[in-house]
Amino acid sequence: MKAYRGDIVFAPGPGELTTLQNGAVLVAESGVVQQALPALPEGFEGEVVEYGGRLLLPGFVDVHAHSSQLPICGLGYDESPTSWLERYTYPVEKKYASPAYAAALNRRLVYELWENGTTRAVLMSTTSASSTQNLMEQLEQSGLSAYVGKMNSDFAGFGGEANETTAASVRETEELVKWALHRGEKVKYALCPEFIPCCSEEAMARLGALAQQYGLPVHSHMAEGPEDVAVVRRRFPKEALYARVYNHFGLLGQTPTIMAHCLYATEEEMELLQSQNVMVAHCANAILNIPSGRYLPVRKYLAKGMRIGLGSDIGGGHTLNMPRNMVAAIQVSKLYPEYAALTVPDVFYLATKGGGSFFGKVGSFEAGYQFDALVVDDTALNEGTGYTLAERLARFIYCGERQNIQHRYCGGTEIHPPRP
Amino acid sequence: MKAYRGDIVFAPGPGELTTLQNGAVLVAESGVVQQALPALPEGFEGEVVEYGGRLLLPGFVDVHAHSSQLPICGLGYDESPTSWLERYTYPVEKKYASPAYAAALNRRLVYELWENGTTRAVLMSTTSASSTQNLMEQLEQSGLSAYVGKMNSDFAGFGGEANETTAASVRETEELVKWALHRGEKVKYALCPEFIPCCSEEAMARLGALAQQYGLPVHSHMAEGPEDVAVVRRRFPKEALYARVYNHFGLLGQTPTIMAHCLYATEEEMELLQSQNVMVAHCANAILNIPSGRYLPVRKYLAKGMRIGLGSDIGGGHTLNMPRNMVAAIQVSKLYPEYAALTVPDVFYLATKGGGSFFGKVGSFEAGYQFDALVVDDTALNEGTGYTLAERLARFIYCGERQNIQHRYCGGTEIHPPRP
C-alpha cells in the first residue's frame, strides 16, 4: 500500500467536487485506489509519496481524437469543411502509410498526450494497419492507456474516392483485432468505422459481427452536420436516422460505444443512444473551429443521465490539452442561454470520471478506481493569494500550462514516454 | 546596421501576409526597421544575427488589459457578472494598495507579458497610484513598452460604493501624469477612466482637460453590456449615448483613444468613433467567458476602415497569451455567419500592426517601423512536414506554446525581465 499526499480534487459527479487539502490517496499494489482521506491515517505503515502543496487530480481522459491529425491541428480552419478535408485531412492520413513517418508522428502524439496530462485516450487511427499497430505498440511502451482502432473507410459516400477496399478494410481489421487480443490490459482495440457515409453496408455488418465475436468497443462519429445526416437519410431511407443504421449493424451499444459529436441527432436518436448506454464525445473546440450551426446541449443530456465525455477531436479541435478543451466546453455552453452554462466542476467531471467510465473505474479517487493521477505544481498561479482548492482547480484549468504538471500516473504507475 | 535573418512573416494589412523564407530584416542602430528583404544583401557589412529556420514575427500588442487582474483570471466565470465583480475583481484590486503585494504581482505580470511574446501593452491599473507607479517602473526596467494609467473610479453608478473620492482621483492622476512626463519613451501614461457609470462628471471633465493639456492618450471601456448602456442613458439623458458623453468631456479621440468592447454601441456611435480615429479593443475571450449576448462584427468594421486591436482583457479574458486570444477572435467571429469569419492573417494583423498603431509605427517589419520581434522555434510543430510560412504561422498561433518563443525584441533591443 502507498499513500499519495497532496491537495486532492476529484469530481464524483457532474458539478460535484471532493476537495481534501493536504489529504491522502491510499493505493494498493494493484494500482487501485483504496480510499481518499482528509489526512494520512495515524500509524500508516506503507510508503508515503509526498506531494504536499501540490494539486493531486485524476488524469484526463480524451474520448475522441484522430491520432494522425496532430500535424494538421490549426490548419485550414479558414477554409470550408470540404476544402479542409481535401487539403489537409486526407493528405496527412495518407502519409501515415509510410512506417517511418507514422513512427515519428506517433511518438510525438504519445508524448504530447502525456505532456498534457491525458492518461487515457480513445483514438481513431488512419486506414493504415501498420501505423495503427505502431501506435498501439508505442502507447503500450509509454504506460498510457488507450483504445485504438484502424479507421474503416471503404465507401465513397461523402465525395472523393473510398480510402480502401471493403475486403482489405475488413481483413486488416480482423488481423489487427487478433494481434491485439493477447496484449496488455492498458492498450486495446476499438473498432473505428469512420462514419456511415464512408462505410459500406458489408463493412458495417462485418464490423458489427467482429464487435460481437470479440467483445470489441466501437468508436465512431454521428450526426456532425446537416450534410452527413442527409447522406445517411438518402442511403438508408428505411432507417433514415444515423442511430438506427448503426444499431441495425450492431454498432450502437451492443458493445461499449462512443459516438462523437451528435450535434444533429434527433431526440429519438439521443434516447436510443441513452437506452443503449452509448457515450457521446463532446468536442467543443471542433464546434468552434469548424462550426456546423449547432451545439450539443450537454447540460440537458447530463440531467437526463446520459454518458458524456470530452474529446479533443484533433485535428477539428486544435489542441490535445484537455484543460483548454474544458474551457472551450464552458465557453460554447454559454452561447445557448436556454440551458444553464457548464461550470468548472462540470467539465472537470466530464474530462475525468465522465469520459473515464469508458475505461471502467477510471477518472476518480473513489475506492476501487484505477490510480490515474496528475501532480500539478500551481505555485506560480497562486502567488500572494489564499485560494480554495476549487479556485486552484479553476485557475489551473483556465490559466495553467502543461509545464505545471510534474508527475503523471496511469493505473498506479508513474509514466515517462520517450521524448520525440 | 544589423540584419536579422529568419523565416519572416508580418501582416501589412488585414488578411495580408508578407512571407520571406530565409529573409532578412535590416535594422538601424536606432531600432527602426530599414527594410525586410527576401535575402541578405550581397556585401552586407553590418552584424548578422542568425535565426535561420525560425519564425521571425512582429511582437504582439495587447490593447486592453487590467494589470491587477492576473491573479483572478479563470475565477468566477461560473457566476453572474455582478457576483464576479464583487467576489473577485474588486477585492483583488483593493489588495494592490499594499506595496509589497503590488510589487510582487506587477513583477509577475511583466514577466508573463514578456513570456507570452507581448512586447507592447495598454494597461489599466487599479485606483492605487503607488501600484500604478510601481508597474510603470517595472515595465521600464523590463524593456517592454506600455501605456499605463491609474483607474479613475469615483462615482457609485454601477452598484456598490465609489472606489475613491473625486478629489483624490483627480489629484493622484495629475501627480502621476507629471511624474511620468519626463521618463523614458517606452512607458507612458494613458488616462483610464473606468467607464462612464463609475466616473463623476467632474472627474471626466478634469481628465478631459488633462488629456488636452498634456496630450495624454485615453483608455477606457464603452458599451460592454445592456446594463452599463442603460446607466449612461439614465444619467445623461441629453447625450444618451456613451460615445457622445465621452466626446462631451474630451475623452473620445481628442487625443489618441482606445475604447474596449463597444458591443452595444449604436451605428451612430461607431461612426463617431471612426471619425475621431478611436481604436476599438476587441476582447474575444471576455465575450466567451462572460457573454453579454453580443459580439463585435470585426469584419464589418475592418471593411469600413476602423482602427481595431485585440485585447486580452484579463481578468474577463483568462489569458495574456495573444495567440490564444487570436484563436478566440476567430472562433467568436464564426458564431455570426452574417459576416465572413476572421482568418489567421486577419487576427495576426489585429494583434500586431492593428493594435500596434496605437504606439506609432509598431507591429510590422515595413520600413520605418520599430523593430519589435519574436523569434519562434517551431521545429517541434513541423516534424516531417513541408509547411508554407503561412501554415507555420497558423500552427504556431493555434498550437504553439510560449516556450516556442526564444527571443523577444522591443524597439530594437532584446529584452529579459527578471523572473518572478
Rounded to a whole number, what is the distance in angstroms from the first to the last CA of chain A? 34
Pairwise CA distance, residues B142 & B124, whole Å: 18
Residues of chain A with Cβ-Cβ distance to B288 below 8 Å are 331, 334
User: Measured between CB atoms, which of B78, B318, B343 is closest to A343?
Assistant: B78
Tell me how crowded residue B137 is: count the other CB atoms within 10 A of its CB.
14
SS3 (DSSP) at A215: coil
Strands of the sheet containing B145-149, edge to edge, are B60-66, B118-124, B145-149, B187-189
Interface contact flag, A402 B399, Cβ < 8 Å = no
Distance (Å) from the C-alpha of residue A395 to the closest C-alpha of chain B? 5
Amino acid at A217: P
Which residues in chain A have Cβ-Cβ distances shorter than 8 Å to B73?
A: 395, 398-399
Q: Which residue in A has a C-alpha nearest to residue B386's C-alpha?
A: A71
Put simply, whether A339 touches B (Cβ < 8 Å) is no
On whether any CB of chain A is under 8 Å from the CB of B49, the answer is no
Phi first, then psi: give them for residue B87, nearest 5 degrees.
-85, -30
3-state percent breakdown (helix, strand, coil) of chain A, nearest 5: 40, 25, 35
**Angle at B169 (CA atoms; ends B172, B155), nearest 5 degrees:** 170
Q: Residue B47 carries which side chain, given as an amino acid letter?
A: E
The answer to whether the beta carbons of residues B180 and B134 sit under 8 Å apart is no
Task: Check pLDDT > 80 for residue B397.
Answer: yes
Percent of chain B residues past pLDDT 70, beyond the cut:
100
- Rounded to whole angstroms, how far apart are CA atoms B190 and B320? 20
B window 304-333, beta carbon within 8 A of A: 318-319, 324, 327, 330-331
Burial label for A338, CB within 10 Å (0-12, 13-18, 19+), is: exposed
Please give the interface size between A and B, counted as residue pairs whose CB atoms are below 8 Å apart. Answer: 100
Q: Tell me what pLDDT residue A158 has.
A: 80
Q: What is the mean pLDDT of chain B?
A: 96
Per-residue pLDDT of chain A (420 residues; tens, 9 = 90+): 999 999 999 999 999 999 999 999 999 999 999 999 999 999 999 999 999 999 999 999 999 999 999 999 999 999 887 888 888 988 898 899 999 999 999 999 999 999 999 999 999 999 999 999 999 999 999 999 999 999 999 999 887 789 999 999 999 999 999 999 988 899 999 999 999 999 999 999 999 999 999 999 999 999 999 999 999 999 999 999 999 999 999 999 999 999 999 999 999 999 999 999 999 999 999 999 999 989 999 999 999 999 999 999 999 999 999 999 999 999 999 988 889 999 999 999 999 999 999 999 999 999 999 999 999 999 999 987 889 999 999 999 999 999 999 999 999 999 998 888
Kindly report the length of chain A: 420
pLDDT given at position A311: 98
Question: Are B380 and A420 an interchain contact pair (Cβ–Cβ within 8 Å)?
Answer: yes
**Residue B77 in contact with partner chain A when CB distance is under 8 A:** yes
Contact with chain B for residue A286, Cβ under 8 A: no
Task: Please give the Cα distance from B92 to B152 (Å, whole number).
Answer: 16
Please state the pTM of the whole predicted model. Answer: 0.97
What do you get for the CA distance between the two ends of chain B, in Å? Answer: 34
Q: Which of A108, A109, A288, A330 to mutate to test the interface with B (most CBs of B within 10 A)?
A: A288
Among candidate residues A9, A36, A11, the one with its CA nearest the CA of residue A368: A36
Element (H, E) at A303: helix A298-303
User: Hey, what's the cell of B52?
Assistant: 535561420
CB-CB contact of B191 with B221 (8 Å): no
Q: Which of B105, B319, B383 lies closest to A383 in CB terms?
A: B105
Whether residue B383 and residue A343 make contact (CB cut-off 8 A), yes or no, is no
A391, A401, A420 member nearest B75 (Cβ): A391
Give the model's pLDDT for residue A89.
87
Compute the distance between CA of residue A251 and CA of residue A218 in angstroms, rounded to an integer. 6
CA distances from B366 to B9, B17, B43 (A): 11, 12, 22
Q: Does A295 touch chain B (CB under 8 A)?
A: no
Is the distance from CB of A114 to CB of A320 less than 8 angstroms? no
Residue B272 has pLDDT above 90, yes or no: yes
Q: How many CB atoms lie within 10 A of CB B417?
A: 20
What whole-number distance in Å separates Cα of residue B172 and Cα of residue B169? 6
User: Which whole number is the average pLDDT over B39-53?
Assistant: 96
Q: What is the structure's pLDDT at B384?
A: 76
Alpha carbon distance A399, A392 (integer Å): 10
Each residue's pLDDT tens digit, B101-151? 999 999 999 999 999 999 999 999 999 999 999 999 999 999 999 999 999
ipTM > 0.90?
A: yes
Nearest-CA residue of chain B relative to A332?
B288
CB contacts under 8 A, A 376-415 vs B, are 380, 383-385, 387, 391, 394-395, 397-399, 401-403
The pLDDT assigned to B89 comes to: 87
Name B160's Cβ contacts closer than 8 Å, sequence gap at least 6. B86, B90
Task: Inspect the interface and report whether the beta carbons of A74 and B399 lie closer than 8 Å.
Answer: yes
CB contact under 8 A, B383 and A105: yes
Residue B383 to residue A108, Cβ atoms within 8 A:
yes
Find chain B residues with C-beta within 8 A of A89's C-beta. Answer: none
Q: Is B35 exposed, middle or buried (0-12, 13-18, 19+ CB in 10 A)?
A: middle
Residue among B296, B192, B211 at smallest CA distance from B253: B211
- Name the residue among A139, A262, A268, A128 with its Cα closest to residue A195: A262
Q: Is B45 on the interface with A (CB under 8 A)?
A: no
- Record: contact B74-A335, CB cut-off 8 A: no
Neighbouring CB atoms inside 10 A of A299's CB total 18
**Distance (Å) from the C-alpha of residue A420 to the closest C-alpha of chain B?**
9
For residue B344, give the nearest of A78, A334, A385 by CB distance: A78
3-state secondary structure chain B: CEEEEEEEEEEEECCEEEEEEEEEEEECCCCEEEEEECCCCCCCCCEEEEEEEEEEEECEEEEEEEHHHHHHCCCCCCCCHHHHHHHHHHHHHHHCCCHHHHHHHHHHHHHHHHHCCEEEEEEECCCCHHHHHHHHHHHHHHCCEEEEECEECCCCCCCCCCCCCHHHHHHHHHHHHHHHHCCCCCEEECEEECCHHHCCHHHHHHHHHHHHHHCCCEEEEECCCHHHHHHHHHHCCCCCCHHHHHHHCCCCCCCCEEEEECCCCCHHHHHHHHHCCCEEEECHHHHHHCCCCCCCCHHHHHHCCCEEEECCCECCECCCCHHHHHHHHHHHHCCCCCCCCCCHHHHHHHHHHHHHHHHCCCCCCCCCCECCEEEECCHHHCCCCCCCHHHHHHHHHHHCCHHHEEEEEECCEECCCCCC
**A324: which chain B residues are within 8 Å (Cβ-Cβ)?**
324
The C-alpha of B398 sits at a distance from chain A's nearest C-alpha, in angstroms, of 5
CB contact under 8 A, B78 and A403: no
pLDDT at B85 over 90: no
Rounded to 10 deg, the angle between the A389-399 and A322-333 helix axes is: 100
CB contact (8 A) between residue A384 and residue B335: no
Q: Under a CB-based contact definition with an 8 Å cutoff, are residues A160 and A384 in contact? A: no
Of residues A237, A272, A238, A239, the one with CA closest to residue A257: A272
d(CA B149, CA B230): 26
Q: What is the pLDDT of residues A149-198, one digit of tens each?
A: 999 999 998 877 899 999 999 999 999 999 999 888 999 999 999 999 99
DSSP-derived letter for residue A40 is P
Mutation target to probe the A interface, by most A beta carbons within 10 A, among B80, B285, B327, B346 is B327
B71–A394: do the CB atoms touch at under 8 Å? Answer: no
Nearest alpha-carbon partner for A77 in A384, A353, A405, A318 = A318
Contact criterion met (CB < 8 Å) for B289 and A77:
no
Q: How far is CA B133 from the centre of its chain?
A: 19
| Confidence band, pLDDT 50/70/90 cuts, at residue B184 | confident
A116 and B CB contact within 8 Å: no
Yes or no, beta carbons of B395 and A319 under 8 Å apart? no
Quick: pLDDT tens for B341-356.
999 999 999 999 999 9
- Per CB-CB distance under 8 Å, the chain B contacts of A387 are 75
The three cell numbers locating residue B415: 529584452
SS3 per-residue string spanning B324-352: HHHHHHHHHHCCCCCCCCCCHHHHHHHHH
